[in-house]
């Protein structure tokens, strides 16, 4: 992926090495459920806010880290994230202008080990996530190493796909899709809630594909093998592959993010069309 010397977004908060308050709260759930949340996030590496939203009351152990980031030191990883975020800003600025709207750019928070967000406190094991309550994306850069070693998804474009996917959740929030889905889930049984969650995640994959198409069209950011890297990352975190890896069998009714095939298909659909309107995952005939 061509990213060197490109514009970097100013919407980066670098909290790496910072501590979080002792006794910060997350969720009115037992320690076993909290552990399950962490494990789910660790294996899926995607937005955990569907699990976290609405929980209140459990006190987390304090997390303290030493300040480890020297702002004077060259940081290629941070620069890369800032460039990818800037590319998403450029693409969605134009897309929203065409719809007669103004794109509200999200902030991206870099953290290490644990972070406090408006959606609660999260450890790095939950992976990257978007919190609609503060309109921020949270990312521990160590996740990219986990993506390579645990999921076999390497390359800079696989990392860009992860960021673009989380930005996709922000786009859904701005368009009112997230709120509509939340309302539908409040009236749904567990199985239907999961199906709605899958549709949300697949749409975010599709929106990541739209971003890749438009960014390459305007700036020629893609190099040979980049799309394959993105597709590999989408496939690696499919529900079926994760379930088979962790429990040895697949339970489709328990999917919350989509199968490997679905995630690849919707990313490709967005990339090939380059059009927001093609990402209608909520049309049952196209699922």
pLDDT tens per residue, range 68-108: 455 444 588 999 999 999 999 999 999 999 999 999 999 99
Res 37 pLDDT > 60? no
pLDDT of residue 251: 52
pLDDT tens figures, 179-236 = 999 999 899 998 888 889 888 999 999 999 999 999 999 999 998 888 888 777 766 6
Q: What angle do CA 94, 119, 167 make, to 5 degrees?
A: 20
**Of 56, 48, 55, 58, residue with least CA distance to 140:** 48
pLDDT of residue 100: 96
For residue 117, give the 3-state DSSP assignment. Answer: strand
pLDDT of residue 113: 87
pLDDT tens figures, 49-71 = 444 443 433 344 444 444 445 54
pLDDT of residue 54: 39
Res 148 pLDDT > 90? no
pLDDT of residue 63: 45
What end-to-end distance do the CA atoms of the chain give, in Å? 30
pTM of the predicted model as reported, rounded to 2 decimal places: 0.78
d(CA 202, CA 268) in angstroms, rounded, equals 11
pLDDT of residue 2: 87
pLDDT of residue 226: 85
pLDDT of residue 239: 57
**Of 103, 106, 109, residue with least CA distance to 121:** 109
Contact call for residues 202 and 239 (beta carbons, < 8 A)? no
- Least confident interval from 1-10, 148-157, 273-282: 148-157
Domain parsing of the chain, residue ranges: 12-286
**Of 259, 277, 257, 237, residue with least CA distance to 50:** 257
The CA-atom distances, in angstroms, between 38 and each of 48, 99, 109 are: 9, 38, 19
Work out the percent of the chain whose per-residue pLDDT is above 70.
71
d(CA 218, CA 216) in angstroms, rounded, equals 5
């Amino acid at each position: 992926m061509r990213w060197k010397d490109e514009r970097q977004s100013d919407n980066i908060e670098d909290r790496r090495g910072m501590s979080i308050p002792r006794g910060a709260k997350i969720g009115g759930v037992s320690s076993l459920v909290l552990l399950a949340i962490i494990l789910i996030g660790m294996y899926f590496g995607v937005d955990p806010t569907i699990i976290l939203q609405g929980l209140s009351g459990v006190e987390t152990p304090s997390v303290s880290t030493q300040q480890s980031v020297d702002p004077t030191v060259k940081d290629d990883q941070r620069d890369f994230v800032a460039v990818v975020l800037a590319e998403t800003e450029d693409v969605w600025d134009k897309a929203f202008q065409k719809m007669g709207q103004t794109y509200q750019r999200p902030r991206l928070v870099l953290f290490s080990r644990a972070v406090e967000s408006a959606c609660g406190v999260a450890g790095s094991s939950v992976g990257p996530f978007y919190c609609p309550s503060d309109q921020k994306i949270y990312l521990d850069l160590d996740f990219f190493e986990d993506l390579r070693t645990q999921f076999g998804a390497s390359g800079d474009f696989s990392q860009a796909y992860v960021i673009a996917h989380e930005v996709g959740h922000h786009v859904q929030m701005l368009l009112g899709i997230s709120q509509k889905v939340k309302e539908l889930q409040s009236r749904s049984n567990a199985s239907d809630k999961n199906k709605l969650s899958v549709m949300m995640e697949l749409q975010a994959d599709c929106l990541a594909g739209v971003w890749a198409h438009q960014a390459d069209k305007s700036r020629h950011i893609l190099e040979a093998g980049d799309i394959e890297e993105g597709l590999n990352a989408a496939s690696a975190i499919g529900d079926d592959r994760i379930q088979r890896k962790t429990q040895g069998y697949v339970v489709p009714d328990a999917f919350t993010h989509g199968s490997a095939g679905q995630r690849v298909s919707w990313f490709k659909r967005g990339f090939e069309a380059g059009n927001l309107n093609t990402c209608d995952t909520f049309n049952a005939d196209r699922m």
